Amino acid sequence: MTLLRPPLALLAGLLMPLGFAPFSQAWAPVVGLALIFSLLAPPRVSPGRVLLLGYLFGLGFAGFGVYWIHHSIANYGGGPLAAGIAIGVLVALFALIPMLALLLGWWAGRHYRAMALLVVFPAAWVLVEWVRSWLFTGATWLSLGYTQVDTPLAAYAPVLGVYGLSAAVALLAGALAWWGRRPLSLRVLAPTGMAVVLGGGAIGLDRPWSEPTADPLTVAMIQGSIPQSRKWDPAESGAILAEYEALTRDVFGADLIVWPETAVPAVYHQARPWLEDLAADARAEGSDLVLGTPAADPVGNGLFNAVAVPGDTTQFYYKRHLVPFGEYVPFRDLAGGLLNFVGTPLGDFSAGVSAEPLNAAGHAIGVSICYEITFGRLVADSLPEATILLNVSNDAWFGDTTAPWQHLEMARMRALETARPLVRATNTGVSALIDPQGRVTLSGPLFQQVILEGEVQPHTGLTPYLRWRDWPMAGVSGLVVLGMGLFARRRYQLFREV
């Protein structure tokens, strides 16, 4: 059995990404976590074995889960060699995160096998997921709660957010691991009881958390499908704007017309007269134009990744959470030209500070740009004022990999947490309309130029998640881990004294 542990740990890690879109096998992370919890169950497991098996688990999880980063760097960054080095380093670093979660759970529950499997490992997992969401600017990809958007457990999202769903997955996994130690015993009550409790809670929470306000809006999302090779070529900018204009004029009359992230292939002020003339024509037909564009701050405070509502007084939302090495390069000055192969073609962006909704089509719209949709607390900052959420993105960087589908899955979680409809306009897909229950009501294909037209019903209300954010799950998880860890230490000292 000892020889089987390393490959089993790796297999457990490889199971985890199967829970995320586009595979959407919600059972897979439960089984994967149950397997690694069982392999590390105290007390007859050394710290060294925890580190080894936990790291192998992390390598499988990260290697399969974020392999798509290789595509973006190989095709749009430094080429295949740089991509190979970057993905190797990234996977090696990401694998440390689940390893540390497992080590923390083992340490806190090292004297209590039942408590370790049923409570402490799950609490440690959720605590580390939450910490990594903000530490070193935050890493939110592959949080386990996203795997449950299409299960009854999704009812927990408006109350406890994505980490509440992560806790549900981890608790089920712990119960399964406990039963798996002796499957023919009465321990079958643990997974059965946990499923009943969590399922009953989901049924009790399955209710509307917001209510419609005003009439539905008609929305047209322009998916330009502009290849990255054209997007920032100065010789192509006129043709790209002409394509967007033609597509936009075809849907004049829709209440809201949305262009994706950085659809304008220039800094806003360079195309301002043309854009504002187009917006004026749209308003004359009853439409408000909302577009993604780079924007220079009027007082010279930097270049921003922005969403604009052109008008007599143009409104801007400036992206607040930038992607390191994608939208800005840390330590660029120190590294000289070494890091010039990453970052944006226009230079480093600056971060915005305001979450104030934009006003368009008579409604307050909470805006997020690309990666920001993966941070529940950021999206929540524009609420409860916003009646509609809007996310614009450009996932062309990731090609036909799992990344665009995972990104859409995260957007669905934000709709669930806030009980708001969400409009998602992307350059190459997946563009979609999502209702307040996180269901996709309309979506488009990948890498096709299309116009998606549909209706969105604005909603108002304040979910428990919007009141409490992630603090309940972070607090309970931290108290469980700390309390069990201190109790185990005290117990050890008492035995020494005796």
pLDDT at 345: 54
pLDDT in tens, 423-468: 999 999 899 999 999 999 999 999 999 999 999 999 999 999 999 9
pLDDT in tens, 3-18: 899 999 999 999 999 9
Going by C-beta distance under 8 Å and a sequence separation of 6 or more, which residues neighbour residue 422?
388, 389, 390, 391, 411, 412, 414, 415, 433, 434
List the strands of the sheet with 256-258, edge to edge. Answer: 315-318, 303-309, 288-296, 256-258, 217-223, 450-456
234 and 371 in a single domain? The answer is yes
482 and 440 in a single domain? The answer is no
pLDDT in tens, 191-244: 788 888 888 888 889 899 999 999 999 999 999 999 988 888 899 999 999 999
82 lies in which domain range? Answer: 5-208+468-497
Going by C-beta distance under 8 Å and a sequence separation of 6 or more, which residues neighbour residue 157?
145, 149, 164, 165, 413, 416, 417, 438, 465
368 and 472 in a single domain? The answer is no
- Do residues 184 and 447 touch, judged by C-beta distance below 8 A? no
177 and 282 in a single domain? The answer is no
pLDDT reading at 346 higher than 70:
no
Per-residue pLDDT band for 336 (boundaries 50, 70, 90) equals very low
Q: Higher model confidence: residue 247 or residue 42? A: 247
Whole-number average pLDDT of the chain: 91
404 and 476 in a single domain? The answer is no
**Tokens describing residue 262:** 């950085």
Per-residue pLDDT band for 349 (boundaries 50, 70, 90) equals confident
159 and 282 in a single domain? The answer is no
What Rg value do the Cα atoms of the chain yield, rounded?
24
pLDDT winner (highest mean) among 69-78, 174-183, 395-404: 395-404
337 and 366 in a single domain? The answer is yes
pLDDT at 494: 38
pLDDT in tens, 276-331: 999 999 999 999 999 999 999 776 678 999 999 999 899 999 999 998 877 777 65
pLDDT reading at 497 higher than 50:
no
203 and 263 in a single domain? The answer is no
405 and 442 in a single domain? The answer is yes
Positions marked active-site = 261, 319, 370
pLDDT reading at 38 higher than 50:
yes
| pTM for the full predicted model | 0.93
% of the chain exceeding 90 in pLDDT: 73
Per-residue pLDDT band for 152 (boundaries 50, 70, 90) equals very high
pLDDT in tens, 43-55: 888 999 999 999 9
Tell me the mean pLDDT in the region 62-71: 91
492 and 451 in a single domain? The answer is no
pLDDT at 256: 98
Q: State residue 52 phi and psi, 5-degree precision.
A: -65, -55
**What's the domain count of the chain?**
2
pLDDT reading at 360 higher than 50:
yes
pLDDT at 131: 97
pLDDT at 192: 81
pLDDT reading at 334 higher than 60:
no
144 and 230 in a single domain? The answer is no
pLDDT reading at 374 higher than 80:
yes
Which amino acid is residue 438, in one-letter code?
G
**Tokens describing residue 63:** 């290697």
Per-residue pLDDT band for 495 (boundaries 50, 70, 90) equals very low
State the CATH number of the domain containing residue 256: 3.60.110.10
Tell me the mean pLDDT in the region 82-86: 87
pLDDT at 228: 85
pLDDT at 332: 56
370 and 235 in a single domain? The answer is yes
